[in-house]
């Protein structure tokens, strides 16, 4: 539930992600924190592995085949999530991240709701994601949203793979 009256979740128009105030900083924060948690801290975005650096520096190009949903408050991105294009009836949720100053206020839940609704409208049958095992709060959130641990599709140590059935468009309309 979103308890921030000024918060809205939007899907920025294609080719405008780089102009979304605060989005690149969120993606940079996500990757810098993740690398640090993996024991591979880097000083700044320029030192990130190329594929992660590209997401922060040029999200339009990095996510050209995906949908990026942004939680905004006061015109600034406070959270984001990426939903990949469907492949064989399956979409993947990536990069769910909330500005640390906005955590505990329903931002991640609002983004997950929007991502699941997008998957339903797109006809996906399954939604999957991966999360680092040490992000126990995120794992709990995903479990509350019906995700369950499944056989890994990514074998990196410490990564937990989860999935759930995509909601049907009728289910999503009933929730609204």
Q: Please, what sign has the CA dihedral across residues 125, 174, 71, 43?
A: negative
* Token couple for 85: 């294009």
* Count of beta carbons in the 10 Å neighbourhood of residue 5: 7
- The full set of domain ranges for the chain reads 7-125
User: CA-CA distance, 53 to 62, in Å (whole number)?
Assistant: 10
How far apart CA 146 and CA 81 sit, in angstroms, is 17
Q: What angle do CA 127, 140, 53 make, to 5 degrees?
A: 65
pLDDT, tens digit only, all 176 positions of the chain: 345 568 999 999 989 999 999 999 999 999 999 999 999 999 999 999 999 999 999 999 999 999 999 999 999 999 999 999 999 999 999 999 999 999 999 999 999 999 999 999 999 999 999 999 999 999 999 999 999 999 999 989 999 999 999 998 764 444 44
pTM, two decimals, is 0.92
DSSP secondary structure string, 72-113? EETTEEEEEEEEEPPBTTEEEEEEEEE-GGGTTTTHHHHHHH
Q: What is the largest CA-CA distance in the chain?
A: 47
Helix (H) or strand (E) holding 46: none
Tell me: domain 7-125, CATH 3.40.630.30, correct? yes
């Amino acid at each position: 539930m979103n308890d921030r009256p000024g918060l809205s979740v939007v899907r920025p128009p294609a080719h405008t992600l780089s102009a979304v105030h605060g989005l690149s900083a969120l993606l940079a924060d996500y990757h810098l924190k993740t690398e640090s948690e993996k024991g591979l801290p880097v000083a700044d975005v320029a030192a990130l592995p190329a594929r992660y650096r590209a997401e922060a520096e040029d999200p339009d190009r990095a996510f050209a085949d995906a949908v990026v949903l942004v939680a905004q408050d006061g015109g600034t991105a406070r959270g984001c999530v990426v939903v990949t294009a469907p492949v064989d009836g399956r979409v993947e949720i990536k990069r769910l991240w909330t500005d640390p100053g906005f955590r505990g206020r329903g931002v991640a839940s609002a983004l997950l709701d929007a991502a699941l609704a997008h998957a339903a409208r797109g006809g996906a049958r399954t939604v999957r994601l991966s999360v680092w095992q040490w992000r126990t709060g995120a794992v709990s959130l995903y479990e509350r949203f019906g995700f369950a641990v499944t056989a890994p599709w990514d074998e990196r140590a410490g990564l937990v793979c989860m999935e759930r059935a995509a909601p049907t468009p009728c289910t999503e309309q009933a929730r609204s």
